[in-house]
Amino acid sequence: MTPLPSLLLEPLVRAALAEDLGPAGDATSRAVIPPGLRYAARLNTRAPGTVSGMQVAAMAFRLLDPALEVRTLRPDGSQVSAGETLMQIEGDAAAILSAERVALNFAGRLSGIATLTAAFVAATAGANARITCTRKTTPGLRLVEKQAVLDGGGSPHRYGLSDAILIKDNHIAAAGGIIPVLRAARAQAGHMRRVEIEVDTLDQLETVLATGGADVVLLDNMDTDTLARAVARVNGALVTEASGNMRLERIAEVTATGVDYISVGALTHSAPVLDLGLDF
């Protein structure tokens, strides 16, 4: 996949650097690093995982000092073991030290997401089901967190509230039931937006199938047996997505139901960071 345009990432990285530099810059490096001192640093893994955030980390170093030479050895999406070098940075020592934490904060967090995603993907063991994420992302980081899911082998979901229609239980209740809600959605969706609707029971599923107008059905919080029956009932008439309580241990049996997509909020809201460090 072509990388994201710098134009979209730059404001994010610039803001993160400004946040860490604070209003007056890096007091420590300014005070103690001899001006002009050059350094060579390596961004190394301390644990195995799947890499994400290299594009962002490289940009952090370059935005702080365009003269830094940054070389990415393992691009986003690579599977790596502990002790590997992901990136080499060479140039002004004070600049490298000032950008270090922001680069690591991005890369560690995003690689953590990619690594957890890869674990879920591995649990599907080549079956039909694809792993995808939700809108439970960190405020401000959706673009890079969704990219980290892709880097981990996951599949994209809608980006936010405007690019697809996803009707949840509260929408159904507010709109007066599945039939009117699907009609309203389809009438407004246009021909370029998909419509997905959440169902919690097989009865609701029957109504959705009978009403038409949906492209995707979200089978929410079902136990595995019910999920299997729902997928069988849909039988390819709609795309199926399973969500709710999708722990890693459960993915194999969920996959066995034949569901098309499994969405996992934890990929973005609770992934532990991948341990990375900068060594000089």
212 binds a copy of itself (CB under 8 A): no
- Closest to a copy of itself by CB, 60 vs 86, is 60
For the record, the structure tokens of 3 come out as 């990388």
Under rule CB under 8 A, which residues in 85-144 are in contact with a copy of itself? 93-95, 97-98, 101-102, 104-106, 108-109, 112, 130, 132, 135-143
164 binds a copy of itself (CB under 8 A): yes
Q: Which of 26, 145, 151, 220 is catalytic?
A: 220
> Would you call 146 a catalytic residue per the annotation?
no
Q: Please tell me the count of residues contacting a copy of itself according to CB under 8 A.
A: 103
Provide the sign of the torsion angle of the four alpha carbons 117, 119, 124, 125, taken in this order: positive
Give the phi and the psi of residue 231 in degrees, each rounded to 5.
Answer: -60, -40
d(C-alpha 246, C-alpha 249), whole Å: 8
Under rule CB under 8 A, which residues in 190-209 are in contact with a copy of itself? 190-194, 196
C-beta of residue 58 within 8 angstroms of C-beta of residue 153: no
- Closest to a copy of itself by CB, 193 vs 250, is 193
Under rule CB under 8 A, which residues in 229-268 are in contact with a copy of itself? 239, 241, 260-261, 266
Q: Which of 14, 46, 74, 101 is catalytic?
A: 101
C-beta of residue 70 within 8 angstroms of C-beta of residue 62: yes
Q: Which of 196, 198, 241, 260 is catalytic?
A: 198
Tokens 């994400």 correspond to 52
- Closest to a copy of itself by CB, 155 vs 226, is 155
272 binds a copy of itself (CB under 8 A): yes
For the record, the structure tokens of 57 come out as 């980390």
- Closest to a copy of itself by CB, 80 vs 112, is 112
Strands of the sheet containing 38-45, edge to edge, are 69-72, 85-92, 38-45, 276-279
Strands of the sheet containing 165-167, edge to edge, are 130-132, 261-263, 239-243, 216-220, 195-199, 165-167
Under rule CB under 8 A, which residues in 8-47 are in contact with a copy of itself? 8, 12-35, 37, 39
- Closest to a copy of itself by CB, 136 vs 233, is 136
Q: Which of 14, 42, 136, 158 is catalytic?
A: 136
Q: Which range of residues in 76-84, 168-176, 221-229, 249-257 is near a copy of itself by CB under 8 A?
A: 168-176
d(C-alpha 114, C-alpha 98), whole Å: 26
* Bridge partners (DSSP) listed for residue 165: 195
Out of 54, 58, 59, 64, name the contact with a copy of itself by CB under 8 A. Answer: 64
Q: Which of 10, 4, 13 is nearest to 102 (CA)?
A: 13
Active site residues: 101, 136, 168, 198, 220
